[in-house]
Amino acid sequence: MSTATHNLSDYTPGEVPSGSGRRFALIISEWNKEITEILAEGAYDTLVSFGVDPGNIFTQWVPGSFELPLGAQFILEHKPVDAVILLGCIIQGETRHFDFICQGVTQGTMEVGLKFSKPVVFGILTTLTLAQAKDRAGGKHGNKGVEAAVTALKMVSLKEKSQKHKK
């Protein structure tokens, strides 16, 4: 989460595990595409910078943020990936639609991750204005896509470590 003292793109490189040999999916919302393209670029570049082969990054666009969890489920059912990163941007409007979409996407993201026992990372902006979204998509608060990619790398590593301890 970005705050006055924390930028979404800040991380300690030595604390981020290598992504070498790992496979990731980026599921990206077409809605608010001017924002989601920047989020996707941040996530992609971050994965590559930590050793993920570009050929091991699968990208799929879906119509809107509400479709992101189902897009993740489709990918997890048919593609051998270690983690899925969901990238979207939901901006508050004049109706309660914002609340329903945010709740549905949040719940769906959690359910898909638990169903497949794989990291499904919530890289979705939920802002009051377009200006706030821009601030969090490469603006003064960093890039949520970068944060989501770092989270995915850490969660894949955590899963692998936990499986080693189980044996």
Look at residue 130 in the predicted model and tell me its pLDDT.
Answer: 95
Res. 2: pLDDT tops 60: no
Alpha helices in 25-138 (DSSP H): 33-49, 68-78, 97-116, 130-135
Look at the block and give the residue holding tokens 């949040």. 106
How many helices and strands (H and E) does the chain possess? 5, 6
Calpha distance 91→98 (Å, rounded): 7
Going along the chain from its start, the domains and CATH numbers come out as 22-166 (3.40.50.960)
Question: Tokens standing for 65?
Answer: 């943020």
Question: Tokens standing for 125?
Answer: 């902006």
Res. 140: pLDDT tops 60: yes
Q: Whole-number mean pLDDT of the chain?
A: 93
Query: What is the arithmetic mean of pLDDT over 74-80?
Result: 97
- 6 falls in which pLDDT band (50, 70, 90)? low
Catalytic residue, from 6, 97, 141, 165: name it.
Answer: 97
Q: What is the pLDDT of residues 99-134, one digit of tens each?
A: 899 999 999 999 999 999 999 999 999 999 999 999
97 part of the active site: yes
The 8-class DSSP code of residue 6 comes to B
Q: How many other CB atoms are found less than 10 A from the CB of residue 163? A: 9
Res. 4: pLDDT tops 60: no
Which pairing describes strands 57-62 and 24-29: parallel, antiparallel, or unpaired? parallel
Full strand arrangement of the beta sheet holding 57-62: 57-62, 24-29, 83-91, 120-127
Q: For the whole model, what pTM was predicted?
A: 0.93
Question: Tokens standing for 54?
Answer: 């570009």
> CB neighbours of 4 closer than 8 A, spacing ≥ 6?
none
